[in-house]
Amino acid sequence: MSDESNPVSDEDEVELGLAPTPVVSPGDQAPVLVVVDDDAAIRAMLIHALGKTYTIYEAEDGAQAKEILDAIPAPDGIVCDVMMPRLDGVELAKLLRKDKFLQRVPILFLTAKGGAMDVVAGINAGARHYVTKPFKIADVVAKVASMTARTKR
Protein backbone atom coordinates (compact mmCIF):
# COMPACT_ATOMS: atom_id res chain seq x y z
CA MET A 1 0.00 0.00 0.00
CA SER A 2 1.49 3.30 -1.06
CA ASP A 3 1.61 6.33 1.18
CA GLU A 4 0.33 8.84 -1.35
CA SER A 5 -0.80 12.14 0.00
CA ASN A 6 -3.93 13.76 -1.34
CA PRO A 7 -2.96 17.37 -2.05
CA VAL A 8 -5.66 19.96 -1.50
CA SER A 9 -5.80 22.87 -3.92
CA ASP A 10 -6.58 26.44 -2.87
CA GLU A 11 -9.99 26.12 -4.52
CA ASP A 12 -10.76 23.05 -2.38
CA GLU A 13 -9.86 24.85 0.86
CA VAL A 14 -12.98 27.00 0.84
CA GLU A 15 -15.17 24.04 -0.15
CA LEU A 16 -13.80 21.98 2.76
CA GLY A 17 -14.37 24.82 5.21
CA LEU A 18 -10.68 25.50 5.74
CA ALA A 19 -9.61 29.11 6.01
CA PRO A 20 -8.31 30.46 2.71
CA THR A 21 -4.77 31.77 2.71
CA PRO A 22 -3.68 35.05 1.17
CA VAL A 23 -1.54 34.91 -1.95
CA VAL A 24 0.69 37.63 -0.58
CA SER A 25 1.06 39.46 2.72
CA PRO A 26 3.61 42.13 3.65
CA GLY A 27 2.82 41.66 7.35
CA ASP A 28 0.19 41.05 10.00
CA GLN A 29 -0.86 44.70 10.18
CA ALA A 30 -1.31 45.19 6.42
CA PRO A 31 -4.78 46.11 5.17
CA VAL A 32 -6.59 43.24 3.47
CA LEU A 33 -7.87 43.22 -0.12
CA VAL A 34 -9.75 40.66 -2.16
CA VAL A 35 -8.84 40.84 -5.87
CA VAL A 36 -11.50 39.34 -8.14
CA ASP A 37 -10.97 38.95 -11.89
CA ASP A 38 -11.42 36.05 -14.30
CA ASP A 39 -8.30 37.14 -16.22
CA ALA A 40 -5.27 35.59 -14.51
CA ALA A 41 -2.88 38.15 -16.05
CA ILE A 42 -4.85 41.07 -14.63
CA ARG A 43 -5.03 39.40 -11.21
CA ALA A 44 -1.26 38.84 -11.29
CA MET A 45 -0.62 42.48 -12.26
CA LEU A 46 -2.88 43.75 -9.46
CA ILE A 47 -1.33 41.41 -6.90
CA HIS A 48 2.16 42.50 -7.95
CA ALA A 49 1.28 46.20 -7.71
CA LEU A 50 -0.75 46.01 -4.48
CA GLY A 51 1.02 43.16 -2.68
CA LYS A 52 3.76 45.35 -1.24
CA THR A 53 1.17 47.21 0.85
CA TYR A 54 -1.80 44.85 1.19
CA THR A 55 -2.52 41.31 2.24
CA ILE A 56 -4.31 39.90 -0.80
CA TYR A 57 -6.74 37.08 -1.37
CA GLU A 58 -7.57 36.31 -4.99
CA ALA A 59 -10.65 34.90 -6.69
CA GLU A 60 -11.40 33.98 -10.29
CA ASP A 61 -15.04 35.09 -10.16
CA GLY A 62 -17.71 36.47 -7.87
CA ALA A 63 -18.80 33.05 -6.62
CA GLN A 64 -15.30 32.17 -5.45
CA ALA A 65 -14.91 35.66 -3.97
CA LYS A 66 -18.13 35.25 -1.97
CA GLU A 67 -16.85 31.93 -0.58
CA ILE A 68 -13.60 33.61 0.48
CA LEU A 69 -15.40 36.63 1.94
CA ASP A 70 -17.62 34.31 3.99
CA ALA A 71 -14.51 32.59 5.40
CA ILE A 72 -12.33 35.58 6.38
CA PRO A 73 -12.87 38.69 8.51
CA ALA A 74 -14.26 41.61 6.49
CA PRO A 75 -11.47 42.95 4.26
CA ASP A 76 -10.51 46.59 3.91
CA GLY A 77 -11.47 46.60 0.24
CA ILE A 78 -12.38 44.62 -2.85
CA VAL A 79 -11.00 45.16 -6.35
CA CYS A 80 -13.44 43.44 -8.68
CA ASP A 81 -14.01 42.90 -12.39
CA VAL A 82 -17.60 43.37 -13.54
CA MET A 83 -17.94 40.78 -16.31
CA MET A 84 -17.11 37.30 -14.96
CA PRO A 85 -18.59 33.80 -15.18
CA ARG A 86 -20.83 32.26 -12.51
CA LEU A 87 -21.35 35.49 -10.49
CA ASP A 88 -20.47 38.86 -11.98
CA GLY A 89 -19.19 41.86 -10.06
CA VAL A 90 -22.49 43.74 -9.93
CA GLU A 91 -24.33 40.72 -8.52
CA LEU A 92 -21.51 40.14 -6.00
CA ALA A 93 -21.75 43.78 -4.88
CA LYS A 94 -25.52 43.46 -4.44
CA LEU A 95 -25.03 40.34 -2.29
CA LEU A 96 -22.42 42.11 -0.17
CA ARG A 97 -24.67 45.12 0.43
CA LYS A 98 -27.25 42.73 1.96
CA ASP A 99 -24.65 41.15 4.32
CA LYS A 100 -24.40 42.97 7.67
CA PHE A 101 -20.71 42.05 8.03
CA LEU A 102 -19.68 42.97 4.49
CA GLN A 103 -22.04 45.78 3.48
CA ARG A 104 -19.58 48.56 4.28
CA VAL A 105 -16.55 47.02 2.53
CA PRO A 106 -15.55 49.44 -0.25
CA ILE A 107 -15.51 48.06 -3.79
CA LEU A 108 -13.51 49.26 -6.78
CA PHE A 109 -14.86 47.94 -10.09
CA LEU A 110 -12.50 47.30 -12.99
CA THR A 111 -14.28 46.78 -16.28
CA ALA A 112 -14.32 47.13 -20.04
CA LYS A 113 -17.90 48.37 -19.73
CA GLY A 114 -17.40 52.13 -19.68
CA GLY A 115 -20.77 53.46 -20.82
CA ALA A 116 -22.61 55.95 -18.64
CA MET A 117 -25.35 53.43 -17.82
CA ASP A 118 -22.71 50.83 -16.87
CA VAL A 119 -21.05 53.27 -14.47
CA VAL A 120 -24.42 54.16 -12.93
CA ALA A 121 -25.28 50.46 -12.53
CA GLY A 122 -21.92 49.81 -10.84
CA ILE A 123 -22.24 52.72 -8.45
CA ASN A 124 -25.85 51.80 -7.69
CA ALA A 125 -24.74 48.24 -6.93
CA GLY A 126 -22.34 49.60 -4.32
CA ALA A 127 -19.02 50.36 -5.97
CA ARG A 128 -17.09 53.27 -4.50
CA HIS A 129 -14.86 53.58 -7.59
CA TYR A 130 -15.33 52.50 -11.21
CA VAL A 131 -12.24 52.19 -13.44
CA THR A 132 -12.44 51.21 -17.10
CA LYS A 133 -10.02 48.85 -18.84
CA PRO A 134 -7.45 49.39 -20.09
CA PHE A 135 -6.35 51.21 -16.95
CA LYS A 136 -3.16 52.69 -15.57
CA ILE A 137 -2.03 50.63 -12.61
CA ALA A 138 -0.96 53.80 -10.78
CA ASP A 139 -4.58 55.03 -10.93
CA VAL A 140 -5.84 51.78 -9.44
CA VAL A 141 -3.21 51.85 -6.68
CA ALA A 142 -4.18 55.44 -5.82
CA LYS A 143 -7.90 54.65 -5.73
CA VAL A 144 -7.32 51.58 -3.57
CA ALA A 145 -5.22 53.67 -1.17
CA SER A 146 -7.99 56.27 -1.03
CA MET A 147 -10.77 53.79 -0.37
CA THR A 148 -8.84 51.75 2.23
CA ALA A 149 -7.72 54.89 4.09
CA ARG A 150 -11.37 55.48 4.96
CA THR A 151 -11.78 51.98 6.36
CA LYS A 152 -8.75 51.79 8.66
CA ARG A 153 -9.43 49.48 11.57
Which pLDDT score is estimated for 149? 87
**Residues 59, 38, 78: CA angle, nearest 5 degrees:** 45
Query: How far is the C-alpha of 9 from the C-alpha of 99, rounded, in Å?
Result: 28
DSSP letter for 85, please.
S
> Contact at 8 Å (CB) between 115 and 121?
no
Task: Quote the percentage of the chain above a pLDDT of 70.
Answer: 86
Least reliable range by pLDDT among 31-35, 116-120, 126-130:
116-120
Residue 69 has pLDDT above 90, yes or no: yes
**Which residue, 103, 141, 146, 147, is CA-closest to 125?**
103
Query: Which SS3 state, helix, strand or coil, does residue 81 take?
Result: strand
Q: Which pLDDT tens digit goes with each residue over 81-91?
A: 999 999 999 99
